[in-house]
Amino acid sequence: MKVCIIGAGAIGGFIGTRLAATGGHSVSALARGATLAALRTHGWRLQQGGAVLQRPCQASDDAAALGPQDLVVVAVKAPALAAVAAGIAPLLAPHTWVLPAMNGVPWWFGPALPALGPEPLASVDPGGAIARAIPLPQVIGCVVHASAAVAEPGLVVHKMGQGLIIGEPLGGLTPRVAQLREALAAAGFEATASADLRRDAWYKLWGNLVMNPVSALTGATADRILDDPLVAGFCAAAMSEAAAVGARIGCAIEQSPADRNAVTRKLGAFKTSMLQDAEAGRPIELDAIVAAVAEIGRRVGVATPNIDALLGLTRLFGRVHGLYPAA
């Protein structure tokens, strides 16, 4: 396949290098700044254990120079997605698949859920600009269960996990999802095809919903959040609200907050992605991870007072520190 990675950071670089290493795909990158320079100089680079996997990469800051692709992987942070969508057209042909490998509630989440109504989610796609730029029939959804970091521009370090769950935004299993799953599995991923990807996305979000913003607010690693009984109790209350919202939209959660937090505790003293972004002065993904849950709750008539409080506090923190847009 002819593949382009938009957002050659931690997850984008991880996927891009792995696909390029199979030798069966031409994998380019749409990048800018130091990342663009590093990709042009060194190509794809992925550190796994003590070894660095390196492959050639055609990198450009001009989508038109790369041209139409078979697969476009969008691996940017949620605040950057609107700008990406506005410039993605030169990469898309009628046959192109778009695989968004991102955190939080995706812009494609609503169309199969009549309970949400016809309007796009304002928290993730205000005015529907992203949906207009990236046609839903070309989207294959993705939920990432892997952790990686950028050691320096263009050099990705794999930390843990190999999981990529993919599926149709409207549900069901299709030949194209099976074909893409095979390609990802051949690149070394634990790739799974899901008939109900919205539920998989909601389950991952259920854990990120509280750990990400609480860690950004406090600077605490996950173990310290869970060790504080008052904070852990607040997190459990917010998770219960999100589970109630999920049940209303067909994304039921079968675990209790205590069950999920027991899984989180096994990961040890890790820094969430939102805490890493806050420490680095990067915009935080608050809307896709927290605001979207509150918005969906309002649409389906489920009260979310604890999620609302978490959203308000983290939004104010972000605005004070220049990490979230001003009102």
Instruction: Indicate the Cα dihedral angle 68, 32, 166, 147, nearest 10°.
Output: 160
Tokens 């590093």 found at = 38
Reply yes or no on whether 204 is catalytic. Answer: yes
Could you give the CA distance from residue 84 to residue 111 in angstroms, rounded to a whole number?
Answer: 21
Could you give the CA distance from residue 36 to residue 318 in angstroms, rounded to a whole number?
Answer: 28
Could you give the CA distance from residue 5 to residue 75 in angstroms, rounded to a whole number?
Answer: 7
The 10 Å Cβ neighbour count of residue 233 is 12
The amino acid at 150: V
Copy the structure tokens of residue 230: 């008052």
- Kindly give the pairing relationship between strand 141-152 and strand 155-167: antiparallel
Copy the structure tokens of residue 91: 């990469």
> Distances from the Cα of 300 to the Cαs of 79, 113, 247, 303, 314, in angstroms?
25, 11, 10, 9, 24
Q: Which of 2, 204, 266, 271 is catalytic?
A: 204
Which residue, among 7, 10, 79, has the nearest Cα to 286 in the 3D structure?
79
Which residue, among 194, 86, 188, 64, has the nearest Cα to 131 in the 3D structure?
86
78: which DSSP letter? G
* Active-site residue set: 204
